[in-house]
Structure 1
Amino acid sequence: MHIPDLTLPAKLASILGKLPSTPPCWALVTTLNQLKKRDILPVDMSLLAGHSFEVHILDADMHLRFTADDARFSVDSTPSEPDLRLAANLADFARMMLREEDPDTLFFNRKLVIEGDTELGLIVKNLLDSVDWSATPLQRFMAV
């Protein structure tokens, strides 16, 4: 399935940007923990432990903050700057997750912004590249 190059309408984005980020962030960390548990996300948690992350969905103005420890991902509610921030429009994140675009292409086309710890960013980018999305319910749903 091809994801069109669209951005969310401004009115929808303004509504989404005002909603609390905890529910979608909780969904994100729950998904990451489940993918890790099922060995779909081949992560060495010792490389991520002690770091904070932010996924900024630009066109929805949503900031999803989470941390990692040696065993799992958790919602982060601290006001400090994250160690690593990934920012893109929703369609670009979807393209990356469905492997229509790889993170490098999005980055070099300035559709994915990676800010913060460079070494941590490389670890996360390589981790995203290594995920077998065909083993996830999302991929099976998108194939219908």
Structure 2
Amino acid sequence: MSQGRFLLPAPVGKLLSCLPVYPGSLLFSTGLNLALRDTLPADVQQALQGKRLRIRVSDAGVSFDFSFDGGRFRACQGDATPDLTISASAHDFLLLARREEDPDTLFFSRRLSMEGDTELGLLVKNTLDAIELPTFELLKQLPARVLGRVRS
């Protein structure tokens, strides 16, 4: 079975989709601030200023809504249309974060999708590609079986 086929079981996704949106977005934006605070170049910060983004974990039924304002990421309520939505399964996001999969490969195999401002999407992708690996080292320490053993 290919790595892209590892999806959370439907009952788990249904349960997760019942969680309120804002607390997850707050945790996600806090994590982004801790991980990326000192790594985003000024021109990228300027381009992100005021933009609303959504990360949608398709198999978990959850989304994280956030914006970049005042030099930091801030959680948003999920009631407004984001400028950019990036969607993938939990396993594929983990592979991306651990740099075990290329975003272009996932995109062209339809395992990753971007909706909205494609120029903003390319900026996000290129910025993450340019960040030095130590930012993501903690994720490499996660056991591969966290999501790897869950199959649909």
User: Would you say same fold, with TM above 0.5?
Assistant: yes
SS in 2 for 1:18: coil
Report which stretch shifted further, 20-29 or 3-12: 3-12
Name the counterpart of 2:87.
Answer: 87
Instruction: Give 1:71-110 correspondences, 5 Å limit.
Output: 71-77=71-77, 79-110=79-110
Q: 1:56 to 1:135 in 2, by over 3 A?
A: closer
- Which amino acid is 1:102 matched to? D
CA shift at 1:50, angstroms? 1.1
Match of 1:34 in 2: 34
Percent same amino acid among aligned pairs? Answer: 37
Structure 2 letter corresponding to 1:81:
T
| Number of aligned positions between the proteins | 141
- What residue ranges of structure 2 are gaps of 5+ in the alignment? 145-152
Shift in Å at residue 37 of structure 1? Answer: 2.4
Q: Match for 1:134: what amino acid? A: P
Where does residue 17 of structure 2 map in the other structure? Answer: 17
Cα pair distance change 1:78/1:112, threshold 3 Å: closer
Greater length-normalized contact order (CA 8 Å, ≥ 6 residues apart): 2
Q: RMSD over aligned Cα, in angstroms?
A: 2.2
Name the CA shift for 1:88/1:130 in 2 (closer, same or farther; >3 Å): same
CA contact (8 A) 2:29 2:75 kept: yes
